[in-house]
Amino acid sequence: MPQILELHRFRGSHRSIGRQHGTACADLVAEHLDLALARLASAGVDRATATAVAAEYRPFVQEYAGHLDEEIAGIAEGAGITLAEAYLLQLRAEVYADVLGSPATANECTTFAALPEATATGTGLAGQNADLPDLYAGLMIVVHIEPDDGPEILMATPAGQVSYIGISSTGMAVFANFLNCEGWRRGFPRYLLSRFAMHHAGVAQACSALRDLPRASSRNLVLLDAAGTAVDFENTPRRSALLPPEDALLAHSNHYLAPDLLDEERSNARYLRNSRIRHARMRHLLKENHGRLDPPTMAAILRDRDDGADGLSVHAEDHRERGDEDHYMTVASVIAEPARGRIWVSAGPPSRSRYVEYSFAGGRGIGHAF
């Protein structure tokens, strides 16, 4: 696992941006593809089936986010993989559910947002501990995308993935959590919801557009814009609900919170317990530091392990204590100040690493910020 995530800057048309991404990260993209195929194969889904199913989602991306389809096609060209294989990297969970009937249960990520009145900086903050299978720790990169059209993007993501978590140059921050429900279908993939939302200038505009998408799967999005508006957008493929901040704060993990969507919850008992512990801990620490929240304080919160294997910063060995089938860990941690166009990223669990600043203006900072 790298000590500092490498920053890649891609400019031009979206097709060219994808080609640059695929070329610069070809080895990591190949590793990512091998990992995705191996995980599906372990569940009985072979390569031919996986890629054929992945290709069926392309028309939805072409219709609603053609620029992302161009980037995905460019990644395939640059990395020397097929278009269907490049699509598989964007929708691993959808392919699993499509073939096997339901998504794999997972606990992925703890997120937060703090409005300006809750921070010490007078600007909004948002972020996430990104929890994925431990093999993804070596695949994470930071990308600064400068397209010929549309906002610039600064994002942490697995190599080969065009959308994950980060900010836009218009001041929109988007972070996300896995949610488990029934009714997954072919439609617009959940990972791409982040870049779709970043393409909009404000939270209200983004939520309106997100509601109208024929979504394939479930997701929670934490949205914060430059004006200091924030919301949780919880959704299933067919339903959605908005959760406004409480005391100028948002916290989320991996279970539904909106009263209208509680009947959709399908997480198993062990994962649900873990998710509730993380959510309660994040809420407590945010409230305890209300008015004093700044990036170093948020780093301390995201490093929290007072609940051991159920802590906010997840170590790879925690899965043994929890009895999880998958080896999940925090593969990256991100704190964003979207109004000032900068993020801080730790490589791996923040309790075992330090944060580095990345910005639209300055690229990657030298050394560790905190």
Looking at the domain covering 10-100, what would its CATH class be?
A: mainly alpha
Residue 117's pLDDT band (cuts 50, 70, 90): very high
What count of other Cβ atoms lies within 10 Å of the Cβ of residue 354?
Answer: 16
Question: pLDDT digit string (tens) for 32-66?
Answer: 999 999 999 999 999 999 999 999 999 999 999 99
Q: Does 366 score more than 70 pLDDT? A: no
Place of tokens 């409230």: 287
pTM over 0.95: yes
pLDDT at 107: 78
**Class of CATH domain 110-364:** alpha beta
Of the candidates 192, 183, 189, 164, which has an alpha carbon nearest to the alpha carbon of residue 95? 189
Q: What tens digit of pLDDT does each residue of 137-187 get?
A: 999 999 999 999 999 999 999 999 999 999 999 999 999 999 999 999 999
List the strands of the sheet with 140-147, edge to edge: 7-12, 140-147, 153-158, 165-168, 173-177, 219-224, 230-235, 240-243
pLDDT tens by residue, 61-108: 999 999 999 999 999 999 999 999 999 999 999 999 999 999 987 778
The mean pLDDT value for 325-345 works out to: 93
Domain boundaries, the chain: 10-100, 110-364
Per-residue pLDDT at 323 exceeds 70: no
- Asked if 120 contacts 292 with a C-beta cutoff of 8 angstroms, the reply is yes
Q: What is the pLDDT of residue 327?
A: 81
pLDDT band at 278 (very low <50, low <70, confident <90, very high): very high
Average pLDDT, the chain: 96
User: Which of these, 214, 103, 97, 221, lies nearest to 166 by C-alpha position?
Assistant: 221
Give the burial class of 205: count Cβ atoms within 10 A of its Cβ; 0-12 exposed, 13-18 middle, 19 or more buried: middle
